[in-house]
Chain A
């Protein structure tokens, strides 16, 4: 079936079975390398995308659920997340970077949620984003900068 949605602010559509997983569809149809299937079972967070403002694991989301949705991938969040990117860079929060787009999506969800978000709440939203390199120390410092 044909599934239509907006992707990074522009109208988009793809042909897929309704039960196909969104992550490989986004990466292959739109060459969005940020959507990475690194476990495929929603544990690592490397495939996260924003769907109607919520960070979700695209490896678990089925295509049929995104008809009419507003989807952002990390590629489309660079401008709005500029303060986050600057803070993460300043604190050496990124090493190999493979988890970084999923992390950015999770953090952007908090950023877009408004002023009331506290740093400890933001940290709690990141338990679904595994980072194997950094021990999260720089990420924490960046959160304190942006949300503290």
Chain B
């Protein structure tokens, strides 16, 4: 649920790249047609000479050796002698019209010396592989060991071996990456969708040499992201073009450019061995994962860490070995995507849990409940954590879900059910930007507003923050407001890792008491008496002892001549383990999925999904439900339809044909059963809803496939031909 629904439906709502100042130039990017090549010559003189061209930029316009990234900085703004993925930006132009810009691009002379692409992440990590970066192709490694896994597996009554390859899922936000740069005298305004405007500003400052205070970044609203716009996308090139042309520039990618060059979900290749005792108690988990980050790190190291932290699931394992490797290849770029590495490892683990339950002869839900991790911790890597009492109630709720008719099993269709019970860290692992600054202020328009740099991308942050403001001050919708998503307000950190709405609501709640006092004090100054004589209510301040139906002073009158504002800071709750970034705060969720497998075609239809999120009491129920249903749709795509296959570094699809985003016809009813009680001692009081539904639904669908076929899928999305082979072999 979002605000301004009528404006969005009627096209009156404006996204950041919709409008540009009069006379703005058109930006276009020249992209590599090769996944791996050395640039032996790059000549832009002819392009610069095209009438109507105001700027051409290449790596020569970038400070020597400049690299950017979310944490690990390894990405050039424009190819610096080498291209490492198809569609990598090599040069860019700003011109008076699209036609002139296209002509200028065509006039840029590039000679490529084609190099063999490194496309298999396992091969990339071998000794023989060509190194794509100075430090080799191992972008990041994660290792964790508890106990003697080999001995424990040997002694286990039952063991399962499982492998799973997961898809290069594409975000497919309907809004393409784009933006507008507006250079001034010694300053720059940059409007483009961003999860963290302050981070964008910092990078642009380092790139352009402008001081941060002379750069203003607007990153909200966003027409869909799901993590795909967390990296800087067009901002660096736009800044270079705008400053060089000294004119505003608008640059919006085409869908083929976004498919080729945009961020994707990391494909994971997982192998695991897991065991349990005769009575169904888990014994040991041996878990290896290799992930493909493509040409640059993006959020890859953090994705790998979250993936491996979630690999043991919500369960107690006496011994665990986790080994994750993140490889550089020439397969595009992978980065943040809702579910963040965890959905890959959770899918594999939940399949293994079902296999062990079946071997032990224990009901699959009962098996999960038998093995749940302790509520008080330690966490999956042995870390201290905020206690979570939600796992057992979720197991109980899962067991108590009513049976649902699963369609009509007949000679053609065969039905199956899958369940999953997962937890995932919220916010960032230890050392990440978990803190947040914000401000509550009474504006001259008479609205109490929250100021935060967090951004709205459809997740309902604005609606939740406004609801929190109304609650905190006992006021109406007309008394509250927001200023969000830009660098003119305090740094609230990234809107990612399911933290955005949670942080916005906590900023309101944390500052509310001080703000109420400030409002009372202002009322006392204007009307006499003491601060505590006044309380806020609809329209303004009321005398606490004589509450009439009209305020004694309206908020706009109260604001006159006053500066009523409270700075708020949220400090991170963090655990640090030597050498491991791990989470302190976890969110739990369970899910159930029903499928029908078509024996004739091998196609799988999902016929119903239940989601049981444990996020506390939703502030805006429709927005909360929307997050769950939206996550379920992306989980369905992950399991059944979506994969951007790569061959020799080139993707099989160039646009949205050949890549199957679920439509309304693919989506079953999604029933949401929220667990609204969190532990009374919980220091946060709520959990983000952005990712957790996706994280639970994907393994549930994967487990439903195993339920029908008797063996776990080897890769996701499930290939109908593989389904037919399995059905044939079983006959």
> Does A98 contact B175, Cβ atoms closer than 8 Å?
yes
Which residues in chain A, 117-132, are within 8 Å of chain B measured between CB atoms? Answer: 123-124, 126-132
> What range describes how many residues of B lie at the interface?
35 or more
Considering only CB atoms, which chain B residue lies closest to A137 in the complex?
B629
Whether B13 and A97, one on each chain, are in contact in the complex, defined by CB atoms closer than 8 angstroms, is: yes
Query: B667: which A residues are within 8 A, CB to CB?
Result: 135-137
Label chain A's interface by main secondary structure.
loop
Quick check: B630 and A134 within 8 Å, CB to CB?
yes
Assembled-state Cα–Cα distance A44/B172 (Å): 10
A46 touches B174 (CB 8 A): yes
Would you call A14 an interface residue if the criterion is a C-beta within 8 Å of the partner chain's C-beta atoms? no
Q: Establish whether residues B12 and A88, one from each chain, have CB atoms under 8 Å apart when the complex forms.
A: no
Report which of A85, A89, A101, A124 forms a contact with B11, defined as CB distance below 8 A: A101
Specify which of B13, B460, B656 is in contact with A130 (CB 8 Å cutoff): B656
Stretch from B1-9, B240-248, B596-604 that touches the partner: B1-9
B458 located at the interface, meaning its Cβ lies under 8 Å from any Cβ of chain A in the complex = yes
Residue A73 CB within 8 A of the other chain: yes
Q: Considering the chains assembled together, what is the distance between the CA atoms of A90 and B225 in angstroms? A: 24
A136 touching B633 by the CB < 8 A rule?
Answer: yes
Q: Which of B211-219, B620-628, B715-723 sits within the interface?
A: B620-628
Distance (whole angstroms) from the CB of B654 to the closest CB of chain A = 9
Of all A-B residue pairs in the complex, the 7 with the closest CB atoms, nearest first, are A34-B11, A92-B622, A96-B458, A97-B8, A92-B1, A95-B458, A98-B223
The 8 Å CB contact of A75, one of B11, B225, B626, is B11
The 8 A CB mask of B1-32 against A (1 = contact, 0 = none) is 11011101111111100100000000000000
Q: Is B176 close to A, CB under 8 A?
A: yes
Q: Is B459 an interface residue (CB 8 A)?
A: yes
Most A C-beta atoms less than 10 A away, residue of B14, B226, B656, B661: B656
Pick from A88, A96, A126 the residue with the most CB of B within 10 Å. Answer: A96
| Minimum distance in angstroms from A19 CB to a CB of chain B | 16
Q: Which of A29-53 contact B (CB under 8 A)?
A: 32-36, 38-41, 43-44, 46
Residue B655 contacts which of A33, A34, A40, A74 (CB distance < 8 angstroms)? A40
| Chain B residues within an 8 Å CB radius of A46 | 174
Chain B's nearest CB lies how many Å from the CB of A86? 9
| B700 vs chain A, min Cβ distance (A) | 15
Query: CB-CB < 8 A to A97: which residues of B?
Result: 2, 4-5, 8-9, 13, 223, 458
In the bound complex, residues from chain B placing their C-beta under 8 Å from that of A139 are 664
Q: How far is the CA of A95 from the CA of B221 in the complex (A)?
A: 11
Does B630 contact A133, Cβ atoms closer than 8 Å? yes
From A32, A40, A96, B174 is in contact (CB under 8 Å) with A96
**Cβ–Cβ contact B226 & A135, under 8 A:** no
Question: Chain A: how many interface residues by the 8 Å CB criterion?
Answer: 52
The chain B residue sitting closest to A96, CB to CB, is B458
- A-B contacts, 15 of them at CB < 8 A, read A33-B12, A39-B655, A40-B255, A41-B655, A74-B10, A75-B11, A78-B10, A81-B9, A94-B2, A95-B1, A96-B173, A97-B8, A100-B5, A135-B628, A137-B669
Interface centre among B5, B14, B172 (most CB of A within 10 A): B5
Which partner residue on chain A sits nearest B14 by CB separation? A33
Known: A95-B1, A98-B174. 4 other contacts (CB 8 A): A39-B655, A84-B9, A96-B2, A129-B663
Task: Please tell me if the beta carbons of B224 and A132 are within 8 angstroms of each other in the complex.
Answer: yes
Q: Chain B contacts of A138 at CB under 8 A? A: 1, 622, 625-626, 629
The answer to whether A135 touches B10, judged by C-beta atoms less than 8 angstroms apart, is no
B656 to chain A, nearest CB (A): 4
Contacts of B172 in A (CB 8 A): 130, 132
List CB contacts (< 8 Å) of A52-97 with chain B. 73-75, 77-78, 81, 84-85, 88-89, 91-97
CB within 8 Å of A: which of B417-465? 457-460
Bound Cα distance A127, B625 (Å): 22
State which of B11, B254, B628 has its C-beta within 8 Å of the C-beta of A32: B11
- Encoded as 1 (CB less than 8 Å from any A CB) or 0, chain B from 639 to 665 comes to 000000000000000011100011111
Known: A44-B174, A130-B174. A94 touches B8 (CB 8 A): yes
A122 to chain B, nearest CB (A): 10
Residue of B nearest to A73 (CB): B11
Return A123 CB to nearest CB of chain B, in Å: 6
The smallest beta-carbon distance between B158 and chain A, in angstroms, is 37
Q: Does B632 contact A (CB under 8 A)?
A: yes
Judge if A109 is at the interface, Cβ distance under 8 Å.
no
Q: Are B663 and A132 in contact (CB under 8 A)?
A: no
- Chain A CB within 8 A of B674 CB: no
- Indicate whether A92 sits within 8 Å of B625 (C-beta atoms), given known contacts A132-B174, A135-B667: yes
Residues of A contacting B1 in the complex (Cβ-Cβ under 8 angstroms):
92, 94-95, 138
Does any Cβ of A come within 8 Å of B70's Cβ?
Answer: no
**Interface contact B622-A91, CB-CB below 8 Å:** yes
A83 to B655, CA, bound (A): 34
Cβ of A23 < 8 Å from any Cβ of B?
no
Tell me whether B665 and A96 are in contact (CB under 8 A). no
Query: Which of B11, B622, B634, B664 is close to A33, meaning CB atoms less than 8 Å apart?
Result: B11
